[in-house]
Amino acid sequence: MGAAMITRFDQIAIDLPRPRNPSPNSAAAVQELLGGKFGEMSTFMNYAFQSFNFRGRSKMRPFYDLIANIAAEEFSHIEIVSYTINLLLTGATKRGSDPTATPLASALDARNSYHFIASGQQALPMDSQGNFWTGQHVFSSGNLKLDLLHNFFLECGARANKIRVYEMVDDPTARAMVGFLLVRGGVHIVAYAKALEKLTGVDVGKLLPIPDISNKRFPEAKKHEDSGLHRILYQFSPNDYTEFNQIWNGEHPEDGSELSVQPASNEGATPPDLDEEPQLTAPLGPDIDHQMFADVAAKLGDDVKRRSARKRAKTAASRPRR
Amino acid sequence: MGAAMITRFDQIAIDLPRPRNPSPNSAAAVQELLGGKFGEMSTFMNYAFQSFNFRGRSKMRPFYDLIANIAAEEFSHIEIVSYTINLLLTGATKRGSDPTATPLASALDARNSYHFIASGQQALPMDSQGNFWTGQHVFSSGNLKLDLLHNFFLECGARANKIRVYEMVDDPTARAMVGFLLVRGGVHIVAYAKALEKLTGVDVGKLLPIPDISNKRFPEAKKHEDSGLHRILYQFSPNDYTEFNQIWNGEHPEDGSELSVQPASNEGATPPDLDEEPQLTAPLGPDIDHQMFADVAAKLGDDVKRRSARKRAKTAASRPRR
Amino acid sequence: MGAAMITRFDQIAIDLPRPRNPSPNSAAAVQELLGGKFGEMSTFMNYAFQSFNFRGRSKMRPFYDLIANIAAEEFSHIEIVSYTINLLLTGATKRGSDPTATPLASALDARNSYHFIASGQQALPMDSQGNFWTGQHVFSSGNLKLDLLHNFFLECGARANKIRVYEMVDDPTARAMVGFLLVRGGVHIVAYAKALEKLTGVDVGKLLPIPDISNKRFPEAKKHEDSGLHRILYQFSPNDYTEFNQIWNGEHPEDGSELSVQPASNEGATPPDLDEEPQLTAPLGPDIDHQMFADVAAKLGDDVKRRSARKRAKTAASRPRR
Amino acid sequence: MGAAMITRFDQIAIDLPRPRNPSPNSAAAVQELLGGKFGEMSTFMNYAFQSFNFRGRSKMRPFYDLIANIAAEEFSHIEIVSYTINLLLTGATKRGSDPTATPLASALDARNSYHFIASGQQALPMDSQGNFWTGQHVFSSGNLKLDLLHNFFLECGARANKIRVYEMVDDPTARAMVGFLLVRGGVHIVAYAKALEKLTGVDVGKLLPIPDISNKRFPEAKKHEDSGLHRILYQFSPNDYTEFNQIWNGEHPEDGSELSVQPASNEGATPPDLDEEPQLTAPLGPDIDHQMFADVAAKLGDDVKRRSARKRAKTAASRPRR
Amino acid sequence: MGAAMITRFDQIAIDLPRPRNPSPNSAAAVQELLGGKFGEMSTFMNYAFQSFNFRGRSKMRPFYDLIANIAAEEFSHIEIVSYTINLLLTGATKRGSDPTATPLASALDARNSYHFIASGQQALPMDSQGNFWTGQHVFSSGNLKLDLLHNFFLECGARANKIRVYEMVDDPTARAMVGFLLVRGGVHIVAYAKALEKLTGVDVGKLLPIPDISNKRFPEAKKHEDSGLHRILYQFSPNDYTEFNQIWNGEHPEDGSELSVQPASNEGATPPDLDEEPQLTAPLGPDIDHQMFADVAAKLGDDVKRRSARKRAKTAASRPRR
Amino acid sequence: MGAAMITRFDQIAIDLPRPRNPSPNSAAAVQELLGGKFGEMSTFMNYAFQSFNFRGRSKMRPFYDLIANIAAEEFSHIEIVSYTINLLLTGATKRGSDPTATPLASALDARNSYHFIASGQQALPMDSQGNFWTGQHVFSSGNLKLDLLHNFFLECGARANKIRVYEMVDDPTARAMVGFLLVRGGVHIVAYAKALEKLTGVDVGKLLPIPDISNKRFPEAKKHEDSGLHRILYQFSPNDYTEFNQIWNGEHPEDGSELSVQPASNEGATPPDLDEEPQLTAPLGPDIDHQMFADVAAKLGDDVKRRSARKRAKTAASRPRR
């Protein structure tokens, strides 16, 4: 009844540097990597549904485990892209509670008006043109070979999009995020290539890189590859999905390094504490009931104390488990 | 680098009874609860994005923790609805590899043709009319009061849809799933009512039930409420999101029982092993390369042995945390 | 500040006979005439926006008045189509408050599941396939000749759809509605033909009927034409939009009868009192708070008395104008 | 046969000041209030359909009357937003009939190209990103409590959007319109809160304002509230919908003032006479057939004379009712 | 000025047998192969746009020629699928001009109402659920390797859909069409596999067949493969696109037969003369102006004579080229 | 089996001058003429489907031939608009293979981000707001009179859009294209007017021009009309579709010149050789496998030689027919 299908941790994949400046149009471009046809919503949802839907899994366990495990990683990717967008939008308009000061004037010419009207300078599951992600982007034919081919293509398409957004945006937050995702998405490309190879004997990995430009040309990706991050598929479950190691093994098709499986760790980065935007009443407006707010604040004060105490204690505690 | 933002478990929320019969039109109806405007994709994605997007969270931690934690539970809901659909579709067409036998003839009059053409008799993120879920269903204004009001409304709308699908479908798989989700969704309704109350002092919970028909009238829900499931908000994280207990406390607005927080357990149900549908080449077609298949199968054979061994060992092992 | 741009009357255009039987699939077909590309939402919204948008109207007043006045009539058309749908859906499922009786079982095979899940057996702005009406169907180029040509084409397309729905559905409610709308839509076709003729001298009316089948072949339309309804353009304003009489004059292009302008009357039909559908908790569910409900009911009891009294007094009272 | 369901008046809700400058991007932002998910198309259509669809209305008359009457007011809101957009677009490009002068050059960088290609610098039912309004935004579950909760949420969401558009645009036309609609929309928020309270006893109004920023902070709204406009629900029918006064009564939840019902008056403002945009052939192009145009113009000349005469006579005439 | 970019021939790809019976639901299923995500609209438009868009073609001519030439073949595929749909819909309703006979009654329960309302029992660019084809299905990244991978995947997905529609529909018209397209689509799969191989050296063809079921299992495809149709890529231009022979050569990856290039012939099949459907006024209604119709008919009479004469002369004449 | 339904030629309709400068926002505006509701995708697909769908064609041959033949011309129009877009986008970003140089920085503020992320600075079937073309824009009612009226309206709407895009963009490439299409689209307007006239006797052509501004005011169109291009309907088939000459005859309604039919010639213009955009890896990225690339290049080298030789020989060769 009360079992967890997922457990969640209040952390993000990497430390995100703060943007040099707020940049609404950069945030708008980055949306493609979140809610575009080839964005992280697509990879997350494709693999989640393929894992729910996998028929005959008892006979084909390693393939099921591979897809199900990668799905788990993708959740963290919609999260990290969302935080990047949020950071790029933080402070993008004039702070304050007086609406007559036209605090959102700068939004008038911004690429994506939903960031300022529908959201409080925050990410939404839409693409760089403000078109919303749709379930039509999920492919789940039930035929394993076709689904794997799809996933391989999807990841290559996603890679092309990441490269292009990188080339549009020179903001360090965005580039740190894209660099990291080029590497992790690269792992998924290889994983699906390996799966196709196990199934058919064709060395699909030799097609890589697609597009034909190496991750090594992106400093923010290269640093991760230099430390071997492109060789590791993490296991996002304490005990389950273990058989994908029958697929994720051998050599990396691009640099010949040895592939390895590792358990996911509990050493994530702290999520940014996103600043308030009072002109957007985010999170509260100036006319919140004052007595009520004071009461809530009092409790929160207590919490802050408790939280600090807990944090100190936490370092020793184990998180996922192992 | 390799930290988990979520860990995933190869289990589902409840044991799903097998359908009395395959029922494509029941599966089509159940899709509304997955990919409809008020389906589980909507609840999952609304709370996930609101958690990524929460501004000023250090001051408003309990609200952030509440939303983030409920998001984690919702993932398991898209999963359980998907499995229900998959079970209802299993065996819905004539099994076999000879296409000239028109094995999918019965699909011609089924409500949703995508189940048979786009998927291999499997769930997709679409609604009961075959329209795909869209990111437009995500609301994240950044204003806490408005977002909470939205979530309260969303859950009530979702409840109405569940009730109506229950009234359309008398299949035991579907009803077991709906009964369970009526209770868990009911917990989320109360959670957002409590959050609004903490913020404003208005006892929103007194509006319940919306629609004005009690969960107790649904035997598959009542049995869970009898065991107290409607009073418990599980913590889907070993150490994080702990402060939602400042919101989830006091009395249940409908029956006055005491609310409590409990850690999510590791006692989920085993996911159904979904049967193969060879006529849909799901997962493999009859002309898979035989030598290759034999090699893969050999490995799989080894795996099966290892797996059985591991399973025996597993009962003693702890899973998420505790 | 408190002026009316429209006033509304609690009446409908014609008396609608009750359906012989509930007929969900007929209701689904009729939706095309409401929310389809050529449905009444399209005619209403096209003319409403063209009237808001009319540039240079002081010089071209009769054309502005024509479009603005027809827009007002179209509101009553979305209403009458909606009531037709609602009547066809009334009683379509098993009445009662016990969900375990699977009261909506018959909905499982109905064409449009939204009627039973999203609405309470009621109309929504969607078409016969359950696709929603979209503002993309509004054409407002600002060029008068082109807008008039559009409107002429739109009405002809709408007429074709009405004919085809008539041919699909033999229910008397639907046919009474379609017969009436064939005549009133026919008036609008002629009105736009006349407007094009005034502007260009081309006798566009000679193209009629489009499609080339006369309204006289539809008994439910013929009876209205026999009484001259196809010759009259009503003025839906006490004092405004008077100059369209410069366009609506001369002979009817199909039968040569004399066109005339008349003020809209206050003799509409009483809207059907739509039955409750308790299984859909429409309007209330079985677990409405009883004390509260009793209080409200008490007031309503008083109201019923007052209402009856008022009704008797009302016959003498004047309504719109005259 | 020829009865009016609505009568229309050639007037608008308030006098709109002229914009300081044409401002295409302001017009684009204001579109959100017309065709966005929370725009006036949504409020108008939600209440119109809920009124058509109301089951069991004889027992629940005050609620039906409330919704039906508010629907009537919303028509004037799509109108006033459209006029605001049209005024902001008037003169936005270079006037003249020579296409080689690239008169629309400035449109190349404007936010919304449809304003210049699909329309003649005019409003369309779309949002601030140029996505069209869709019938999917209409909610009509048939359950009264749920529909009222929806309407309450919808109006709060609409209020948030109005506030944000106000903060983006400092043009006096837009702000006059938004200020007025904040007050009238505020009336609708309270109306639905009161309706929920009558039905359930919960003082939902105490949640207000949502978002938590008062209308009093917006000078263009405050002036209307100072004159009491926020306390009045107008009756948009001479004799019908009278029973909503059983709901709209008591104190205003924000300032405790006494609520009152008043008949809609006939003292609307004169609609702006929108300038021609010859470069868009709006309303006519330079090559209109000259003889034909002269003939039409002659008639129009006569009309202008007649119209002036009539206008003088009109002051004495009564309009809607009373 | 007056040059042809394409020339068109009044013929279709193969002789289509007449359906055993009209079958609206079969027609609805076949729509997936026309307007679905993986339908012929997608293949046609993908390759057409990739050919318009090909950058650096002078250096990569064989690839450009391949894509441009296949695009030309795809036009004939949207045509042949459309004719199949039209034949399946011919006679599906009661013939006659009297609307009161409810001639479209059978359409009420048909899967796709657009076939009877929007079209005259005819094909439209939509899929099996009546959702319209969208340009979002076109992929044109500009990167050759990625575009080829996409095309390879697209064709495999299209193949899966064809197989499933074949399994749903046992009508001989549909199966003749699908059998033929399985072979021709199979040629395109191999073509893109060969192109990828030329570019990268990876023998992608070894992945085939995807899904892993051979065309030989489909008698209507097998007969074409027996005659070698799967080995031939036709040149759809008298003199252009000649260099694709550098890609289309060597062995067929599935049966090792020798690939060859051949000029397209002028020996197409005669398009079916689609019967009139008078109840749909297709092509004319009963009230077409009689004198006018007689005049047109007289001319047509003359034409028929001329046409017969010409037909006799035509056999000797050359058509496309050679 | 191997017959051509179309043959394709590697040429375009007119010589396109090079843009003065790359202009992404001009390219974005021109997209309306490709993928907008009234763009060339709409004209092409409307006539293509109407030709596939024509019922009773043996009796109404000239109308069928007219529509089928115009469809063939429209293919060349989607091509020429695409090339215009591609030329306007060529060089729009900084050339080079180093992504860290932020080569796409200028794209950040461009109107349409898909041009830089989804495509390689290339055309896609979308409109000026980046919304994709949809099959919903295809109208095919089966009633000839209604379909012809639609086509007449569609072409007039398309003409309005062309005029407005001309007025937005002063680039010579765009204006050459628009000027040409104004004339050819004008031919189609007249063709459908003539067809309506043959069918009904109404001289619909007298409505022209719609909008009321003459093509003669556009120098890039006037030059073509001066040479008579507006009087000629080309036959896009060697031997088929010959009977449209029964419709296309008599006088041009605007200038009284004599209409004529001519065979399409083989003297098209050479398609622009679109420059590579290495920063978009279009067509290849910097890390293409070098040995492989050398091998391909060697073959291509041979090809270039062969191609030059062939080109010299080609002038004498006949292309389509004649």
* Tens-place pLDDT, residues A77-132: 999 999 999 999 999 999 999 999 999 999 999 999 999 999 999 999 999 999 99
pLDDT score for F310: 52
Q: What is the mean pLDDT of residues B220-245?
A: 97
**Which distant-in-sequence residues (6+ apart) come within 8 Å of B108 by Cβ?**
E25, E26, E29, E168, E169
pLDDT score for A321: 37
Is the predicted pLDDT of residue C301 greater than 80, yes or no?
no
Structure tokens at B26: 């029941």
Name the band, by pLDDT with cuts 50, 70 and 90, for residue D318.
very low
Question: What distance in Å separates residue C281's CA from the closest CA in chain F?
Answer: 36
Q: What is the mean pLDDT of residues B174-190?
A: 98
Integer Cα distance of C255 and C251 in angstroms: 8
Lowest mean pLDDT among A281-295, B65-79, B303-317: B303-317
Lowest mean pLDDT among C99-113, D302-316, F182-196, F235-249: D302-316
Chains that touch B (3 or more CB pairs under 8 A): A, C, D, E
Residue B279 touches partner E, C-beta closer than 8 Å: yes
pLDDT score for A219: 98
Chains that touch F (3 or more CB pairs under 8 A): A, C, D, E
Is the predicted pLDDT of residue B56 greater than 60, yes or no?
yes
Is the predicted pLDDT of residue D115 greater than 70, yes or no?
yes
pLDDT score for A315: 38
CA gyration radius for chain C? Answer: 21
* Tens-place pLDDT, residues F89-100: 999 999 999 999
DSSP reduced 3-state for C186: helix
Alpha helices in A90-235 (DSSP H): 114-117, 144-168, 172-200, 219-226
* Tens-place pLDDT, residues C262-277: 999 988 999 999 999 9
Whole-number average pLDDT of chain E: 93
Q: Under an 8 A CB cutoff, do D160 and A284 touch?
A: no
Q: Which of B136, B146, B199 to mutate to test the interface with D (most CBs of D within 10 A)?
A: B146
pLDDT score for B306: 57
Name the band, by pLDDT with cuts 50, 70 and 90, for residue A294.
confident
Lowest mean pLDDT among D108-122, E305-319, F15-29: E305-319
DSSP reduced 3-state for C233: strand
Integer Cα distance of C279 and E307 in angstroms: 65
Question: What distance in Å separates residue A180's CA from the closest CA in chain D?
Answer: 31
Q: Residue B4: left if φ>0, alpha if ψ -120 to 50, beta else—which one?
A: beta
Integer Cα distance of D249 and D191 in angstroms: 9
Q: Which residues of F are less than 8 Å from E58 in CB distance?
A: 273, 304
pLDDT score for A317: 39
Q: Which residues of D are less than 8 Å from C54 in CB distance?
A: 274, 283
- Which single residue is written with the structure tokens 């008056």? D265
Pick the more confident residue, B312 or D169: D169
pLDDT score for D143: 98
CB atoms within 10 A of CB C265: 15
Q: Which of B203, B207, B211 sits opposite D143 (nearest CB)?
A: B211
- Would you say E92 and E23 are in contact if contact means Cβ atoms under 8 Å apart? yes
CA atoms within 13 A on the CB side of F318: 9
Integer Cα distance of F303 and C19 in angstroms: 74
Q: Under an 8 A CB cutoff, do F143 and C210 touch?
A: yes
Helices B61-89 and B40-53 pack at an angle, to 10 degrees, of: 150
pLDDT score for B266: 85
Integer Cα distance of D69 and D55 in angstroms: 16
Instruction: Give the closest residue to F245 by CA, choosing from F66, F59, F73, F57.
Output: F66
pLDDT score for F309: 52
Q: Which residues of B are less than 8 Å from D160 in CB distance?
A: 141, 143, 146
Is the predicted pLDDT of residue D309 greater than 70, yes or no?
no
Instruction: Give the closest residue to D202 by CA, choosing from A213, C235, B204, E256.
Output: B204
pLDDT score for C302: 63
Lowest mean pLDDT among C152-161, D27-36, F116-125, F312-321: F312-321
Q: Which of B128, B167, B209 sits opposite C113 (nearest CB)?
A: B128
Question: What distance in Å separates residue F130's CA from the closest CA in chain A?
Answer: 7
- pTM of model > 0.80: yes
Q: Which of A32, A170, A213 sits opposite F281 (nearest CB)?
A: A213
| Percent over 70 (pLDDT), chain C | 91
Is the predicted pLDDT of residue F313 greater than 60, yes or no?
no
Phi first, then psi: what are they for A30, rounded to 5°? -65, -25
Residues 76-135 of C with CB under 8 A from D: 76, 78-79, 82-83, 86, 118-126, 132-135
**Which distant-in-sequence residues (6+ apart) come within 8 Å of D92 by Cβ?**
D22, D23, D24, D27, D106, D107, D110, D115, D121
Gap between the terminal Cα atoms of chain E: 25
pLDDT score for B322: 32
Q: Which of A38, A46, A163, A202 to mutate to test the interface with E (most CBs of E within 10 A)?
A: A202
Phi first, then psi: what are they for F169, rounded to 5°? -120, 125
Is the predicted pLDDT of residue E266 greater than 80, yes or no?
yes
pLDDT score for E304: 52
**Looking at E105-174, which runs of residues are DSSP E strands?**
none
- Would you say A138 and A49 are in contact if contact means Cβ atoms under 8 Å apart? yes
Q: Which of A166, A207, A213 to mutate to test the interface with F (most CBs of F within 10 A)?
A: A213
Integer Cα distance of C293 and F319 in angstroms: 84
Phi first, then psi: what are they for A280, rounded to 5°? -105, 15
- Would you say C272 and D42 are in contact if contact means Cβ atoms under 8 Å apart? no
Instruction: Give the closest residue to A40 by CA, choosing from A99, A83, A94.
Output: A83
Q: What is the mean pLDDT of residues E103-125?
A: 98
Q: What is the mean pLDDT of residues D32-48?
A: 98
Q: Which residues of B are less than 8 Å from A276 in CB distance?
A: 55-56
Which chain C residue has the Cα nearest residue E99?
C167
Integer Cα distance of D127 and D33 in angstroms: 7
Q: How far is CA A195 from CA A12, A74, A241, in A?
A: 28, 18, 15
Q: Which residues of B are less than 8 Å from C28 in CB distance?
A: none
* The total number of residues written for chain E in this structure: 322
Residue B138 touches partner C, C-beta closer than 8 Å: no
Question: What distance in Å separates residue B181's CA from the closest CA in chain C?
Answer: 15
Output the CA torsion B216→B218→B219→B223 (10° steps). -50
What's the DSSP call for residue D203?
-
* Tens-place pLDDT, residues E12-61: 999 999 999 999 999 999 999 999 999 999 999 999 999 999 999 999 99
Q: How many pairs of residues across B and C have Cβ atoms under 8 Å apart? A: 82
Chains that touch A (3 or more CB pairs under 8 A): B, D, E, F
Using DSSP bridges, classify how beta strands A260-263 and A232-235 pair: parallel, antiparallel or unpaired.
parallel
3-state secondary structure chain B: CCECCEEECCCECCCCCCCCCCCHHHHHHHCHHHHCCCCHHHHHHHHHHHHHHCCCCCCCHHHHHHHHHHHHHHHHHHHHHHHHHHHHHCCCCCCCCCHHHCCCHHHHHCCCCHHHHCCCCCCCCECCCCCECEHHHCCCCCCHHHHHHHHHHHHHHHHHHHHHHHHHCCCHHHHHHHHHHHHHHHHHHHHHHHHHHHHHCCCHHHHCCCCCCCHHHCHHHHHHHHCCHHHEEEECCCCCCHHHHHCCCCECCCCCCECEEEECECCCECCCCCCCEHHHCECCCCCCCHHHHHHHHHHHHHHHHHHHHHHHHHCCCCCCCC
ipTM: 0.94
* Tens-place pLDDT, residues A43-83: 999 999 999 999 999 999 999 999 999 999 999 999 999 99
| Percent over 90 (pLDDT), chain A | 88
- What is the distance, to the nearest Å, from the Cα of residue B65 to the centroid of all Cα atoms in its chain? 20
pLDDT score for B291: 74
Q: How many pairs of residues across A and F have Cβ atoms under 8 Å apart? A: 81
Q: Which of D111, D131, D213 sits opposite A285 (nearest CB)?
A: D213
